Amino acid sequence: MKSYDSNQIKNVAVLGHGGSGKTTMVEAMLFEAGMINRRGTVEDGNTVSDYHDIEQKRGNSVFSTLTHLTWTHNKINVIDTPGYDDFVGEVIATLRIADTGIMVLNAQSGVEVGTELIWDYTEQYKTPMILAVNQIDQDKANFEDTVDQAKGRFGDKVTLVQYPYNTGIGFNAIIDVLKMIMYKFPDGGGKPEKHPIPEEEKAKAEELHNELIEAIAVNDESLMELYFEKGSLDEAEMTKGMKMSMINHDIFPVFCCSAKRNMGTGRILGFIRDIAPSAAENPPTSRKSGKTLTCDAAGDPCAFIFKTVSESHLGDMSLFKVYSGELKVGMDLINSESGSSERISQLFVMNGKNRVQVDKIVAGDIGATVKLKNTSTNSTLHQKGKQLRILPIKFPEPRITFAVTTSNKADMEKLGQALNQIAAKDPTVVVEQSKEVNQTLLHGQGELHLSIIKWEIENRYKVPFEMIEPKIPFRETIRKGIRANYRHKKQSGGSGQFGEVYMLVEPYYEGMPDPDGLNTRRSEEIPLDWGGKLVFNNCIVGGSIDAKYMSAIIKGIMERMENGPLTGSYVRDIRVSVYDGKMHAVDSNDMAFKIAAAQAFKKAFNQASPQLMEPVCDVEVLVSEEAMGDVMGDLNTRRAMIMGLETEGHYQKIKARVPLIELYKYSSTLRSLSQGKAKHTQKFAEYGPVPSDVQKRLVEQYHATLQEA
């Protein structure tokens, strides 16, 4: 395969709301470039990028897919991405390594919610962006409204480079105000003829041409001077200015096309070749140390793993971008995360599921390799002794949780292995073996995300399983102080067991005064693994209990705190003061005092107004104005405490505290309430008291379950 200079390599992410036509556009680009002889369709399930069974079954992208093409002495890597927010990890990873993004807009629907949600990430990464208004040939297409919406959402940086001469069913011509020419397409699409701009369009085209020049010149002092001097800019000056404006996020050029009929995609490829920045032209990438790394083929070899793939027909593969130097077959590189050495045994360039073996991959390019033993997504590979580490991708926290279960234990072990393999390649998935609730928990971005994982495991790994509502990790505490005692006495021939303990059990809070009327000889503060504290005071006076038994007393209390009486949950934030007791010279031992302490604690706890505590989450909902009322109403039914309302762009942000038990399947409800025009994040905030009526119901449910068992 031909070698390319870093400046000849362009990495393009194709982005947009589901159904905007991203996959069809990628297919048209590959066809235009001669990489495929026949264009597949999403409907027929034979496109290059949507090659997975689940994508063909669903009719939309689920995974990001790497393809490449050559366009007049340039190599363009094109990555097709999913349009649904459940698969945001695929989008974020792609944007992390892309040099340019194409945001595909549906001319029938305008700027949709998926577009806006993805746009936030393009702003975060400062990805140079092109807007492509697609489906211009559809009956309900409205180019002007779509552009107006884009300007309303993304600002005046949205600038026309093209507009359709005619829209709807008869669409066949585009007026290009950068080159000041009209492209007219044959009925079947493909290569257009070049025509002068029609007389009736000249005034509009000239006006848009001048607006484009001004948009380019306003961000470059030298170009502005040329513009004032000459009254215009030539194509070379506009090309240079537009490239810098895109890099600086000062301009978002707008194109139009019908990807399905292959009209306009070739011109977009030409623009990418001529103007879109390469990795070598974009700013240096950030390193974990705070320093940067310049894209230089002559530099030290350094590659960043942005995606890990495990597929039955491809095996385990690591997709990477070379940020510096060259990767060659046979190289030994160091993983900056683990410090282990990795041998580059093979290198590939990808076109969907097809891969072509190559000898090297240069800085700025994207490739794949296999058989890396200790390397995963976010790893940096570099030469020994160079200490290069690319800033890792920050993936979003999970937003939904299910417990998983199988019909038999043998399948459960297989399921655990399959889930761990899935999580190893998808950083937005978290698999947790929860000892506390005794469940295997699967955390992800949404129900659609987890349903795809379920499909993959059942079809690829052949392990059937169910996703059920997870148990809530409640906590238990008390609301008042109670004194209690317990005598443990056991005689069964020979040495018996004897221990008697008197204790004061109180709710603990920071800065609370010493216990009333008791003389604390020694206080021990014990942080609990599950949160909160146990404060233990030894208030024994006169030696009624030897100090050597105190550790056994603490152990007895701790065992009871691991299984609270209300719902069997962990107990937290308790102060226990042992102030009296009795022992026997022969029969007293650690076991006797452990049992006595446990029983005294249980007795006191049950009389001390026990309180169930529930996990409460900080929830942020980003929602469109029209759906805000419904979303607020739903939150109120979930015992939410609204903490604030903010405006963020064209969305309203609702900040609330919501009990975790009320958030089960919330992402699906939110999607339904907002017609897909909302997203949410949730993060554990604190434990809060459960209302008395809810506590009564939960305690009754727990004890009913115990009786059934």
- The verdict on residue 237 lying in a domain is no
**Average pLDDT of 103-122?**
90
Collapsed DSSP state (helix, strand, coil) of residue 471: coil
Determine which helix (DSSP H) or strand (DSSP E) holds 438, and give its type and residue range: none
Which segments within 415-529 are labelled E, that is strand?
430-434, 439-444, 466-468, 475-478, 482-490, 497-507, 522-527
Q: How many CB atoms lie within 10 A of CB 521?
A: 11
Give the domain range for residue 583: 476-608
pLDDT at 127 over 90: yes
Distance of CA 588 to the CA centre of its chain: 57
Summarised one tens digit per residue, pLDDT across range 168-217 is: 999 999 999 999 999 999 988 899 999 999 999 999 999 999 999 999 88
pTM of the model: 0.87
Domain boundary among 549, 578, 608: 608
pLDDT confidence tier of residue 651, bands split at 50, 70 and 90: confident
* pLDDT of the residue at 313: 66
Q: How many CB atoms lie within 10 A of CB 285?
A: 19
Q: Name the residue among 704, 699, 686, 617 with its Cα closest to residue 656.
A: 617
Residues 503, 520: Cα–Cα separation, whole Å: 12
Domain boundary among 557, 582, 608: 608
* pLDDT of the residue at 647: 87
Domain of residue 493, CATH code:
3.30.230.10
- The verdict on residue 222 lying in a domain is no
- The verdict on residue 202 lying in a domain is no
- Rg (C-alpha) for the chain, rounded Å, is 32
**Average pLDDT of 223-249?**
86
Percent of the chain surpassing pLDDT 70 = 99
Q: What mean pLDDT is reported for the chain?
A: 93
488 and 578 Cβ atoms separated by less than 8 Å: no
| Size of the chain in residues | 709
> Across-strand partners of 683?
618
Sheet holding 315-324, edge to edge: 341-343, 332-335, 380-382, 302-311, 315-324, 366-370, 347-351, 354-358
- The verdict on residue 203 lying in a domain is no
Q: Name the residue among 379, 454, 445, 394 with its Cα closest to residue 418.
A: 454
Residues 142, 108: Cα–Cα separation, whole Å: 6
- What phi, psi does 204 have (nearest 5°)? -65, -45
Residues 597 and 620 reside in one and the same domain: no
* pLDDT of the residue at 3: 79
Provide the token pair at 102. Answer: 């194409």
* pLDDT of the residue at 139: 92
* pLDDT of the residue at 70: 95
Residues 155 and 79 reside in one and the same domain: yes
Q: What is the DSSP letter of 296?
A: B
Residues 342, 264: Cα–Cα separation, whole Å: 44
The residue with tokens 């350094």 is 302
Provide the token pair at 117. Answer: 């949600």
pLDDT at 596 over 90: yes
pLDDT confidence tier of residue 494, bands split at 50, 70 and 90: low
Residues 327, 363: Cα–Cα separation, whole Å: 8
* pLDDT of the residue at 314: 64
Domain boundary among 468, 499, 521: 468
Question: How many folded domains does the chain comprise?
Answer: 5
